Amino acid sequence: MSTQVTEQAETETEAQEETSAFQEEREAKKRQKAIERAEKERVEKRLREADETFELKVFRYDPEVEGKMEPRFDTFRVPFKKGMTVLDSLMWARDHYDSSLTFRHSCRQAICGSDALFVNGKQRLGCKTQLTDLHDQEGPPASVRVEPLPHNEVVKDLVVDMQHFYDQMESVEPYFQTNELPSGDLEEQRQTRENREKVKMSTRCIWCGACMSSCNIAAGDNQYLGPAAINKAYRFAMDEREGEDMKEHRLNIIEQEHGVWRCQTQFSCTEVCPKDIPLTEHIQELKREAVKSNLKFW
């Protein structure tokens, strides 16, 4: 008899626990819906109070979530304010509409290079591109279309896999090397003002990948070093502190089959570079240096 009572008590306890868990789950769902309703009302109020708004069309893709595996575009209505950038608009959409919206960003000062995007059909930095720069009139454009960098594998939404780009950059040995160090421990390795001016623009590269994404040659030749890597090679090959032996070594790297000679001088890389580096000119100068290094007079 006592066993039956115990079993009945345990059954009742389990039933109560299940009921309690069910009620807690319902309450949690109600609270979440209330939060979502309140947020939606706040967004609608902000949009009503805004002097100007615009449509933000964003590429969406998530291979790990069912229902999001098929690429699509989501449209968000975003309020405009003076000085607003593309990155600002993405952050507003993420914070007020969909917290799962994924994109890279860091410094917001056009230095880290992490937020290179394909905006209205051109490679741009999200933090540097103001909405007013996207057309010739004051105020925002009617619509802003944001996509991940072309010619890259999409990881999720606006995030692309940059590993191949980094591998190409590393292949040119992007670090200072020299066999001639000053004799004194505290003596600096000096560089002339003229030489510094020569390599100054090439040092501005922020590894954003915009130039590589815009290059038709890189799109068709996966082994092509690409404008960013070749520019990095230029930065060191033209630095007088490394010496002629290292310059020859770097020229040997970039004059390979998939190096400087694959460039067809389309200037697409120069046009999209957010740091205004004359990439195409640097590539052409390295071509000339490679030819001169192979000339023999006897």
Tell me, what's the pLDDT at 25?
A: 78
Residue 73 has pLDDT above 90, yes or no: yes
DSSP 195-233: HHHHHHGGGG-----HHHHH-HHHHH-TT---HHHHHHH
122-132: average pLDDT? 96
Domains of the chain in sequence order: 53-156 (3.10.20.30), 162-180+189-294 (1.10.1060.10)
Mean pLDDT over the full length of the chain: 89
Tell me, what's the pLDDT at 3?
A: 64
Tell me, what's the pLDDT at 297?
A: 52
118-130: average pLDDT? 97
Is there a contact between 235 and 191 (Cβ–Cβ < 8 Å)?
Answer: no
Alpha carbon distances (Å) from 297 to 102, 243, 244, 248:
59, 22, 18, 18
E strand intervals along 16-71: 53-60
Residue 284 has pLDDT above 80, yes or no: yes
The set of residues, in sequence order, having a beta carbon less than 8 Å from that of 210 and lying 6+ positions away, is 116, 123, 124, 125, 149, 272, 273, 274
The pLDDT-based confidence of 15 (bands split at 50, 70, 90) is low
User: How far from each other are the two terminal CA atoms of the chain, in whole angstroms?
Assistant: 115
Residue 39 has pLDDT above 70, yes or no: no
62 φψ region: left (φ > 0), alpha (ψ -120 to 50), beta (else) = beta
11-34: average pLDDT? 74
Residue 103 has pLDDT above 70, yes or no: yes
Instruction: List pLDDT tens digits, range 183-214.
Output: 877 788 889 999 999 999 999 999 999 999 99
The pLDDT-based confidence of 9 (bands split at 50, 70, 90) is low
Higher-pLDDT residue of 267, 138? 267
Residue 52 has pLDDT above 70, yes or no: yes
Q: Cα–Cα distance between 262 and 182 in angstroms, integer?
A: 38
Tell me, what's the pLDDT at 252?
A: 93
145-168: average pLDDT? 97
The pLDDT-based confidence of 105 (bands split at 50, 70, 90) is very high
84-109: average pLDDT? 96
Instruction: List pLDDT tens digits, range 218-267.
Output: 999 999 999 999 999 999 999 999 988 899 999 999 999 999 999 999 99
Tell me, what's the pLDDT at 5?
A: 60
Q: Cα–Cα distance between 160 and 117 in angstroms, integer?
A: 10
3-20: average pLDDT? 68
Residue 157 has pLDDT above 90, yes or no: yes
Q: Cα–Cα distance between 298 and 288 in angstroms, integer?
A: 20
57-68: average pLDDT? 93
The pLDDT-based confidence of 296 (bands split at 50, 70, 90) is low
Tell me, what's the pLDDT at 60?
A: 97
